[in-house]
Structures are given as C-alpha cells and as structure tokens.
Structure 1
Amino acid sequence: ALLSLTELQLPLSYCLVFGALISPTDPIAVLGILKSAGAPHSVELVISGESLFNDGVSVVLFSLIVAMIASGEAPSVIGASYLLLKEAGGGALLGSCVGYITYRMLKSIDSYQEEVLITLAAVLGAYALATQFHVSGPLAMVVMGLIVGNQGRSHAMSEQTEKNLDMFWELIDEILNAVLFVLIGLEVVLIQFSNPLLTTGLLVILLTLLSRLLTVGVPIAVLGKRFRLPEGAWSVMTWGGLRGGISVALALSLPSGAARDIVVSLTYLVVVFSILIQGMSIGKLVKRVIPCAATKDEG
C-alpha cells in the first residue's frame, strides 16, 4: 500500500525480506547511552534480552524468505514449519553443545590469553558447523553466548579474564560495524535517491516506529510491572530499538538487482535515522520519563 502511494516498484517477496532484515535491533550503542543516563538495570536487561532472540529469529525468517525467492516457489505450511524448526531448533541445539564444551574448556584453565582464543575458536567453529548442517548460525551464537556469558562468567572466568574478554569482543564488534558501514556507504554512492525513494523511506521509518510501539511498547506498558520495570520503560523500549549492523549486513547479502538496490537504500535511511535521531535523543528521553534516572544524574 505504501509503495502504491510513492510509485516505487518492489515485489511483495522483497517487502517481506525488508521486514525481516529491519527487525533486528542493535543494543550495544543504546545500552551505553542508557548506562550513562542512569537507566535502571532492569530496562537494560530487557533491551539486551529482547534483542538477542529478536536478532536470531529475524535472521532465520530472512533466510527462509530469501530461499523462497531463490527457488521461485512458495513452500507449503508444513515445509516452512519444518525449515523454521530445523533452522531455529538446530541452531539452538548446536549452540548449547558448543557453549557447554566452551564452558568446560574455560573452566579447566586460568589464562586470559588462551581463554580469549578459545572463545574466538568456538565462535568461528560453531558458525562453520551451523553452515555445514544448514541450521541458524546467529541463534547458535545467541545460545552459546548465553551459556558462556552466564555460566562461564560465574564459574569459569577470573576478573582479569572477564575484563580482557569483554575488551576483545567489544573491539571486534566495533571493527565489524565499521566495515559494514563502509560497505553500505560504497553501495549508496552508486544509488540515486529519487523523490519516491526518499518519501518511501520516510514512511518506512514511521511504520518501523509504529510496529515497534505495537509489538514492544504496548506489551511493556501492560506487563511492565511484572518485570519490575519503571512506568516510562515502554517509551524507552520503543524509541531505543536502534537498527544497525545486522540489518546492513543482511541487506548487503541480497543478490544483485533493482529490488536489492531499493532494499539497501531503505535500510540505509532507516539505520541512519535510527542512529542519528533516536540514538542522540534516547538519553534525554530516559531522564525525562524515568524519574530515578534523572535523580541519579543530578546526584
């Protein structure tokens, strides 16, 4: 319906692809802002947890839709359910196995150099296995990260190891994000931003925020007290759903063509708005809607 208003031509299948790839959020940047703004730990925990599983499921759906486009035919309900179960369930199972093995290896030694290398080998090896077995690599990484990040930190890592491990993976994250944005910058140089494309981008940004409000903001507003969240948490969760590296990477992975160029352009517009507008204003929003955050900041 939006495309008909702006005279932009994009197949329905690529609209579904865009919906899947724009769903993942990037909690890294917003968590840093929330900490500096004095947001309660419960809000940070919900944002990071929601992002972890949201990212994994979104990547699985993206893969299924792209496979459907490549095959040229829509799978049956049973076939799609089987693929989803195989991708998601297989990824979770693989992540559990590799995560437990990694945890046992970390527990057996106390040398942060070797432990950093073990986690690196686990990530690369598990993702290679996921690709080989045709299961979800991102979900495997999520589950493995939960095991190593919780059990590993509590029972298998010294304070020095935790510090060095965090520094290493934060650096890797920054480098990969920088590479992604350089790549999309090079792509965007080749794309001509027409008025219909810019208009569609604006409408997509509004639609993305609305969908975030309905799927995250409203449930948090209704159930927030059960999770011990402050009253204004729903607005922070809605506005704090920043899009970033994962959306960019998925968009760039699409096969070449006119539809891909449109999807990449729309992704670029949403991500830029997310980082510049939402990212720069989320701190002020936290201090405004969560009283304890403002109190901490004043103190």
Structure 2
Amino acid sequence: MDLFIIIALLVIVSAVYSYINARFIKLPGTIGIITIAVVVSIITLIVDESDPYIAKYLTLLAKNIDFSKVVLDIMLGFLLFAGALNVDTKKLRKEMAPVMILSTVGVIISTAVFGLLFHYVGLLFNIHVNIIYCFLFGALISPTDPVAVAAVIKGSKLPSHLEMIITGESLFNDGVGLVLFITLLEITRTGTDNIDFAKTAILFVREVFGGIALGVFMGFFAYRLMRSINDFQTIVLVSLALVMSISLICIYAGLSVPLAVVAAGLFMGNRSINSDVKEHSHEALEKFWKLVDEMLNTILFVMLGLQMINLSFITNYFITGSLVIVLMLIARWISIALPVTFLRRSLQINYANVNILTWAGLRGGISIALALSLPHSIYREIILAGSYFVVIFSIVIQGLTLNKVINFSFRNKEA
C-alpha cells in the first residue's frame, strides 16, 4: 500500500473514531477511541472470515503499518517532547525524589517480581516460559506509558502532588525500561553464561547519561536559536528540527531517545523564549506542541486498536492474558510499596497513595511496540498477547475506574 494512502486512511479513521466518540459515546478521549478501535477490529476479523472484500481496506491498513517502527522510531520522540515541554518543572523538582526512585528502582523491582511470579505461577496454569523471557516480559511492561498516563489523568481527581509523581515517573522510566529490555534481550541471544557485566554497565551509562547530556545540550542550543529570532513559524520549525535531530543522533550513537527528548523538553519548558519584542511566543509554542500531542495520541491509539487484526491469535490466550494483568498489578504494587516502606519520610507517600499510584500506572503503545520488536521464538506470541491484554485493560478499565479508586482510597484513609 502506498505511503500516502496509509497516512490518509489512518487520519480519516482517526477522525471518524474521534467524532463517533465525541458525538455519541462521550467517553474520555483516549478511552473512547481505543474502545471503538478494538470493537471495530473485532468486527473486522469476524467480517473478514465471511467476506474479505468488505473489510479489505481496514485489514490492509492494519497489516501495512509497522507499529513497532512507527512508535519507537517516529512518534515516541514527538510525544515525549510534547509531554515534557508542558510539565511544570517547579512542581516536578519538589517531587523529584519519588519520581527518580519509582522510575529506576521501581522499574527494576517490578521487572524482577513480575518475572518470578509469571514463571512460577504460570506453571500452575500449564504456561511454561523460560525465566529469562519472563524477566524480558517484565521489562517491557513494567514502565508506565507517558502517553497513556497523560491522556487518562487529565480528567482524574488525582491530588496535584500524586499527579506530578506519576507524570514524572512515566516520562523518565521509559529510558530505564528500554535499557533493561535491551540488556535482557541480549542475554536471551548470548545466554546467561556469557553475560559481560562491564559491557552492560557501560551500555547503561552511555544510554542513560549520554541521552540526558545530549538532550540538555541540544535543548540549550535550540533555546538560544529561538531567543535570537522573532518569527514564530521559524521557532516552531526549530523545535521540530530539535526532536528529529535528537532522534537521529540517538539512533546512530546508541543513546536513549526517550531520556534525551525528555531532558530537552524539560530544559526548554522551564525557560521562556519571550523577550520585549516577542509576545507570548513561549505560550504559543506550548499550545502548538499540545495540539501535536493530542493529534498523535489519537492516531497512536487508533493504531493500537488496529493491531488486534494483526494479533488475532490473542483469542487463544485469555487465561494467560488475565493472569498477566493480575501479576502486573501485584508487581506494580510491590515496586511502589517496598521503596515507601524503607524511604517513607523522604518520599512523602503513604500506603493509601500506593494503591492510587498502582492503579494510575498505565501501560500503552510502547509496551506493544517493544513486544513486536522481539525476534521470533516460541515465547513471542505469549508475550505479545499478554502485553496486549495488559495495555487494553490498563487504558480502558483502569482509566475508567481511576477516580473511583482515588475516592475509595481517601475514604478509607479518613475512616
């Protein structure tokens, strides 16, 4: 299928789903769109069995999109930069301790706990997965998704400090999760006997700290360019070029794209480009990126729903998917509760907050993209299906019930 046709159909489908939700269903944007996308994909699969011609274009669209490549190499940089640019950095600094603990130690704990639980509990359900692949599975679904989180918490009743913690955590933990995923993926290829810890440590330092350093440097460079001009159109083009150049450099230099664009976005979001002769340029730039963020969000979740056409085998994994959801919530709760138990004063999080942070830790397109990037193996289908179940449950069920969990937690606290 021609590239223009793919883009045109994707935009048209996104507009139709968005209109149907806004006009008739009236669910929160992200939740409504992905619900419609999943339902339409199921109908498409059923229709395709009886009359393939009717579902021809939607099926072709789904099968011609390289979801993993589009999300990880193209959309991720723009979405993370947009999210970071609009973060209140003053509030983020106040919550930096819990944000950094949850986005690093929390991800590692969640990966380990989920991997162990899935390996041993899975045996009780006749699900046999190698322990290394269980940890690999944990690494790709442990980080919370900044796109899903930002889309769902907009209409939530989260207290401001908890909203900032979950937002900041979701921005930073993708970088850590990706490094952990790449490391474990390498172990599956070479075997546990050939682990080079020095090489792994160098990889981690280069990916994480190299990405952050590049992001700050590029953000400063772009900021100085924007300060020196008055033309808003050029300012927008510089910001777009910033994201694209960071993504290109990171891909070729082996640095973390998520951490680099987040660092650049936070650096620029904290500094106004306004001057005496420029009126509201910074505010206008933030509004532009907010619009980009919302449009790409819609397209991303439409693509996520369409993946069901490509992953039709998930109907064989309802028990596995249900088990993965339960184990992921347990691993998420433990990954927050353990740091809170030992660092309660410095983190300023109580156990009522642990339940809220657990339920607000949503997964999204990045987890599916990473699962799709896995090389073919006997465990790939299980991991793909499990990831899809977690993501759909996370966005639809957790997203719709988040406010009820918040009210329940605070009601119990008051009692």
TM-score, normalised to structure 2, is: 0.62
Q: Distance in 1 between matches of 2:246 and 2:358?
A: 33
Per the alignment, do residues 290 and 31 of structure 1 end up closer, same or farther by CA in structure 2, a change over 3 Å counting?
farther
**1:41 and 2:160 equivalent?**
yes
Residues 169-178 or 94-103, more deviating: 169-178
Q: Distance in 2 between matches of 1:134 and 1:154?
A: 34
1:9 alignment partner, SS class: coil
The amino acid of 2:204's aligned partner reads L
How far does residue 215 in structure 1 lie from its aligned partner after superposition?
A: 1.4
> Counterpart in 2 of 1:2?
121
Per the alignment, do residues 144 and 7 of structure 1 end up closer, same or farther by CA in structure 2, a change over 3 Å counting?
same
The amino acid of 2:132's aligned partner reads S
Residues 29-38 or 117-126, more deviating: 29-38
2:374 alignment partner, SS class: coil
1:103 alignment partner, SS class: helix
Conserved? CA contact 1:26–1:243, under 8 Å: yes
Q: Distance in 1 between matches of 2:141 and 2:337?
A: 17
Per the alignment, do residues 4 and 168 of structure 1 end up closer, same or farther by CA in structure 2, a change over 3 Å counting?
same
Q: Deviations over 1:188-215 (max 9, x none)?
A: 21x1533xx4323222212211111111
> Counterpart in 2 of 1:76?
196
> Counterpart in 2 of 1:137?
257
How far does residue 75 in structure 1 lie from its aligned partner after superposition?
A: 2.0
> Counterpart in 2 of 1:188?
311
Q: Distance in 1 between matches of 2:257 and 2:311?
A: 28
Q: Distance in 2 between matches of 1:56 and 1:127?
A: 13
From the CA coordinates, give the structure whose radius of gyration is larger.
2
Q: Distance in 2 between matches of 1:237 and 1:96?
A: 29
Q: Distance in 1 between matches of 2:127 and 2:202?
A: 34
> Counterpart in 2 of 1:115?
235
Q: Deviations over 1:251-274 (max 9, x none)?
A: 111123332111100101111111
Q: Distance in 2 between matches of 1:37 and 1:154?
A: 32
Q: Residue 271 of structure 1: which of 387, 391, 403 is its match?
A: 391
**1:199 and 2:319 equivalent?**
yes
Consecutive unaligned residues of structure 2, counting only runs of 5 or more, are 1-119
1:245-260 aligned at under 5 Å gives the runs: 245-260=365-380
Q: Deviations over 1:97-151 (max 9, x none)?
A: 2121122223223444333322222112111111111122222122222212223
1:80-99 aligned at under 5 Å gives the runs: 80-99=200-219
Q: Residue 247 of structure 2: which of 127, 135, 142 is its match?
A: 127
> Counterpart in 2 of 1:104?
224
How far does residue 51 in structure 1 lie from its aligned partner after superposition?
A: 1.1
What's the C-alpha RMSD, in Å, of the aligned pairs?
2.7
Conserved? CA contact 1:37–1:287, under 8 Å: no
How far does residue 50 in structure 1 lie from its aligned partner after superposition?
A: 1.0
Residues 5-14 or 64-73, more deviating: 64-73
> Counterpart in 2 of 1:171?
295
Q: Residue 261 of structure 1: which of 375, 381, 384 is its match?
A: 381
Residues 206-215 or 4-13, more deviating: 4-13
Q: Deviations over 1:38-95 (max 9, x none)?
A: 4322111111111112111001111222233344564222221122112222212222
TM-score, normalised to structure 1, is: 0.84
The amino acid of 1:163's aligned partner reads K
Q: Distance in 1 between matches of 2:289 and 2:346?
A: 33
Residues 250-259 or 40-49, more deviating: 250-259
Conserved? CA contact 1:95–1:142, under 8 Å: yes
The amino acid of 2:310's aligned partner reads E
1:150-169 aligned at under 5 Å gives the runs: 150-152=270-272, 157-169=281-293
> Counterpart in 1 of 2:19?
none
Q: Distance in 1 between matches of 2:387 and 2:287?
A: 34
Q: Distance in 2 between matches of 1:152 and 1:21?
A: 36
Conserved? CA contact 2:227–2:273, under 8 Å: no
Q: Distance in 2 between matches of 1:247 and 1:151?
A: 32
Q: Residue 244 of structure 1: which of 338, 346, 364 is its match?
A: 364
> Counterpart in 1 of 2:178?
59
Per the alignment, do residues 110 and 251 of structure 1 end up closer, same or farther by CA in structure 2, a change over 3 Å counting?
farther
> Counterpart in 2 of 1:16?
135
> Counterpart in 1 of 2:93?
none
> Counterpart in 1 of 2:40?
none
